[in-house]
Copies of this chain bind each other. A is one copy, B any other.
Amino acid sequence: MDLVTVRELYKNREAYLDKEVSIGGWVRSVRASKAFGFIVVSDGTYFETLQVVYHDTMANFAEISKLNVGAAIIVKGTLVATPDAKQPFEIQATEVSVEGPSAPDYPLQKKRHTLEYLRTITHLRPRTNTFQAVFRVRSLIAYAIHQYFQERDFVYVHTPLITGSDCEGAGEMFQVTTMDLNNIPKNEDGSVDYTKDFFAKPTNLTVSGQLNGETYAMAFRNIYTFGPTFRAENSNTTRHAAEFWMIEPEMAFADLEDNMEVAEGMLKYVIRYVLEHAPEEMAFFNNFIDKGLLDRLNNVVNSEFGRVTYTEAVKILEEHNDQFDYKVSWGCDLQTEHERFLTEQIFKKPVFVTDYPKEIKAFYMKMNPDGKTVAAVDCLVPGIGEIIGGSQREDSLEKLAARMDELGLKKEDYQFYLDLRKYGSARHSGFGLGFERCVMYLTGMGNIRDVIPFPRTVGNCDL
């Protein structure tokens, strides 16, 4: 079909003004008088709408005038400049054909709907302004992340979703099976007979691609993953979903400093990309969702991120313990209130906190010479707290094995991971960025359910 997009009309208006154009889109509103009427149309390709003027010279004038919100139409006409109006141009229609009407009970009307209500109609909410903005920006962020890493020759690795290992705590994982739950095959001793399952063993949905990603970093030097991860956490908060996407870069011959440089570069790159490619959407968020958003993001782009060790950060925070619900002392994990205090009140910009106590971090993080802390790093940003978590990885076979013994981890489950330290080990580092948290950060949206097209949370798996 020879239809121009509304985006194209806005971006290259000079090429279309005073020419005949055809567009297809959905009715946002119709105002009709006796002799003529106005239709506001969105075709979903651009945040701004397009006004169409039509006249009673058309045979279907009455039909058009009665169109409900949401109807699909195809409009043919001349694009004319409207120097005195709010919008820069409109279509003087010669033909409006109804592609598909919208039934009278259409759940979206011109009034503003609550985000809660819109969550009940996930298949229709992307037709609203807010979700047009959210999901276009989500798409742009995803692409910006790919572009950032690909321009730097990182190899995109698809780590597996279904996994036979349960590296980070089986309690929070989803099990994957093809066995009939009404009739589970059993061994003689009554236990589940997994030889009858699809993979002939218990399998789960992954919680992280990191360990797999490391194997590829030790082959390609610089890699990144970008894929779904899962948590079966029974937590009903605005920041947790059972299914979400993660970006996990991993770099060989890279220390914690390199890790921070890549993380800082990535965040700034993505923010700049979105500000440049979705100015209308970002202005909308700033006006209607989160008033300080643009100032905050511009500040991030233009500031050098702060650096502070965990030990220093705890000293700073202890002086303000009267302001916290949860008092800080060395050894405790930092809560969101502490993280936000550091980045918002102390540094007033994003800050990397490094070198955490080994007890509160994962087994694979590189032990520092002090024997007490590990080369971990969290990136804290104003308005959110932690957005990135990473570390330099333990590259010594002996130290890694000793730490696994300390924690009671079975080495036979991690043989491939130990092999990376046995055959050509190299210092290496990586981090994880929760994609949805990044989308929330860039849009100001407050609930993770509103930045995922079809969110999955405890008790909810619609569509």
Contacts and interface: CB of A to CB of B under 8 A. Distances in A.
Interface of A: 1, 3, 5, 7, 24-27, 43-45, 70-72, 74, 99-103, 106-107, 122-124, 126-127, 131-132, 135-136, 138-139, 142-143, 146, 150, 153, 155-165, 174-179, 181-182, 184, 191-192, 198-201, 203, 205, 212, 215-216, 218-222, 227-228, 230, 232, 234, 242-243, 245, 252-255, 258, 395, 416, 419-427, 452-454, 456, 458-463
Given A181-B192, A219-B132, A463-B416, A423 B70 contact: yes
A424 B71 contact: yes
Given A44-B252, A161-B243, A162-B461, 4 more contacts: A24-B426, A123-B215, A158-B453, A163-B461
Contact of A221 (B5, B102, B200, B216): B5
A163 B205 CA distance: 14
| Chain B CB within 10 A, most for which of A25, A227, A258, A463 | A463
Given A100-B425, A135-B155, A176 B176 contact: yes
Contacts of A182: 191-192
Nearest to A156: B139
Nearest to A222: B45
11 contacts: A1-B253, A3-B253, A70-B423, A102-B424, A126-B216, A143-B156, A161-B205, A164-B462, A174-B198, A182-B191, A199-B461
Contacts of A1: 253-255, 258, 427
Contact of A157 (B135, B258, B423): B135
A255 B24 CA distance: 13
Copies in the assembly, this chain: 2
Contacts of A461: 160, 162-164, 199, 201, 203
**Lowest 5 CB-CB distances: which A-B pairs, in order?**
A100-B425, A24-B253, A126-B219, A199-B461, A123-B215
Contacts of A177: 174-175, 177, 181
| Chain B CB within 10 A, most for which of A127, A146, A219, A254 | A219
B422 A103 contact: yes
A123 to B, nearest CB: 4
Nearest to A11: B153
A443 to B, nearest CB: 15
Given A27-B424, A456-B199, A460-B199, A419 B146 contact: no
Contact of A453 (B153, B216, B420, B459): B216
Contact of A220 (B45, B100, B164, B425): B45
Contacts of A26: 218, 424, 426
Given A159-B454, A192-B182, A165 B463 contact: yes
